[in-house]
Structure 1
Amino acid sequence: MLPICVVNNYGQFNHLIHRALRDLDIEVALIPNTTSKGEVAAGYRGIILGGGPAIERAGKCAEYLDLGLPVLGICLGLHIVAKKFGGDVHPGKSGGYGSVEVSISEHDDILAGYPEKIPVWASHADEVCRVPEGFTLLASSDICDVEAIACPQKKIYGLQWHPEVSHTLDGKRVYENFDMICRE
């Protein structure tokens, strides 16, 4: 079975995403965001777009969204997904740095098994302010109206928070759910 790739967008937690999947015995590779579209298409069964400092440094990430592979965007990865499909990203009212309580309104396949409210770890200044057409809002919080989105038909998902850090309740579940999506 092909591995899942974690696309390194120069964020502080990308190596933790890689480690979280390895710890779950999910075959995974950490790749630069300059990797060719063809190499990603041929070598991986799913894509996790990691976080990073700026969308201008996201390399070829938007191109990967055209491959038909399942995608999970984390933080900046969510912003890449939103912008690619016609959503908007702007600086948040207050930014999210630290613990945030997220309310899950739709328990689709990426958030299956979670309770209605979960503590998560946030580290962002920008946020999605308009969900792209064809995507469903899955979760929100007091500091960020768009904490999670999904387009299950395309198997594309995005989270504003960081499931890979220990401060997020049962963050590994997101990665287990994504692994199952990539096996379908």
Structure 2
Amino acid sequence: MTRIVVVDNHGQFTHLEHRALRDLGVDTEIVDNDTPPERVDADGVVLSGGPDMDRIGRSADYLDLDVPVLGICLGMQLIAAELGGRVDSGDYGGYADVTVEIEDEDDPLVGSLAPETRVWASHADEVKDLPEGFVRTAKSDICGIEAMSDTDCDLYGVQWHPEVAHTEEGEAVFENFLAICDAAE
């Protein structure tokens, strides 16, 4: 059975990310972001959302585990910042119901959501410049980079929260990430 850990960056929806995976039949647990990655046995990692970059603990170390990683909101921003991208304040600010335009129908994480989907997202901070090796896979009217992927390294990020009821196809994002993890084994 595929095992995916959710690294808790103190986000208000972390428990919902865990539950979404559990409801798919995944062996999953939440680990504190101060947990050393070498103590974790996983086929995939979800870096949860959270309040700010000052509270990410050892989350960046999970990028070196050689398993697929999905960053959600702050988790996506963390991936970008750690790998040479740029994160800055968003123009819109807080949470909003947003129509996201999928740009890559072949992307293993969000391609199945094409051509567009409704999501619930915070835009207080956003990825402004992609790290090398990443492609933008989704955008919206209020955010230039709503999702990103580096399929060669199995690193993925979404600005939105697939785990909340307001996101139309959130379960599909987790199903797609599970398929990515299964394929990587």
User: Which residue identity is paired with 2:20?
Assistant: A
Task: Report 1:73-152 matches (<5 A).
Answer: 73-107=71-105, 108-152=107-151
User: Which residue identity is paired with 2:39?
Assistant: E
**Does residue 1:11 correspond to 2:11, yes or no?**
yes
Tell me the CA shift for residue 95 of structure 1: 1.9
**1:113 alignment partner, SS class:** helix
Partner of 1:51: 49
Contact 1:101 1:119 in 2 (8 A): yes
Contact 1:112 1:177 in 2 (8 A): no
Alpha-carbon distance in 1 for matches of 2:28, 2:169: 20
Which runs of 4 or more aligned residues in structure 1 lie more than 2 Å from their structure 2 counterparts after TM superposition? none
Alpha-carbon distance in 1 for matches of 2:92, 2:123: 9
Alpha-carbon distance in 1 for matches of 2:111, 2:28: 22
Partner of 1:36: 36
- Unaligned 5+ segments in structure 1 are none
Partner of 2:20: 20
User: Which residue identity is paired with 1:3?
Assistant: R
Alpha-carbon distance in 1 for matches of 2:114, 2:94: 21
Identity between Structure 1 and Structure 2 (%): 49
Contact 2:120 2:161 in 1 (8 A): yes
Alpha-carbon distance in 2 for matches of 1:69, 1:33: 17
Residues 88, 76 of structure 1: alpha-carbon distance in 2 compared, 3 angstrom cutoff: same
- Unaligned 5+ segments in structure 2 are none
Partner of 2:64: 66
Tell me the CA shift for residue 56 of structure 1: 1.1
Report the count of equivalent residues: 182
User: Which residue identity is paired with 2:50?
Assistant: G
TM-score, scaled to structure 2: 0.95
Once the two structures are superposed, residues 31-80 of structure 1 have per-residue CA deviations (whole angstroms, 9 ceiling, x without a partner) of 1001112112xx11100000000111000011110111100000000011
Once the two structures are superposed, residues 113-156 of structure 1 have per-residue CA deviations (whole angstroms, 9 ceiling, x without a partner) of 21311110012400001011110100011111010000000000
Bigger Cα displacement from structure 2, 91-100 vs 55-64: 91-100
Bigger Cα displacement from structure 2, 133-142 vs 103-112: 103-112
Alpha-carbon distance in 2 for matches of 1:29, 1:149: 25
**1:157 alignment partner, SS class:** strand
Partner of 2:161: 162
User: Which residue identity is paired with 1:65?
Assistant: L
User: Which residue identity is paired with 1:6?
Assistant: V
**2:75 alignment partner, SS class:** helix
Contact 1:95 1:143 in 2 (8 A): no
Contact 1:96 1:143 in 2 (8 A): no
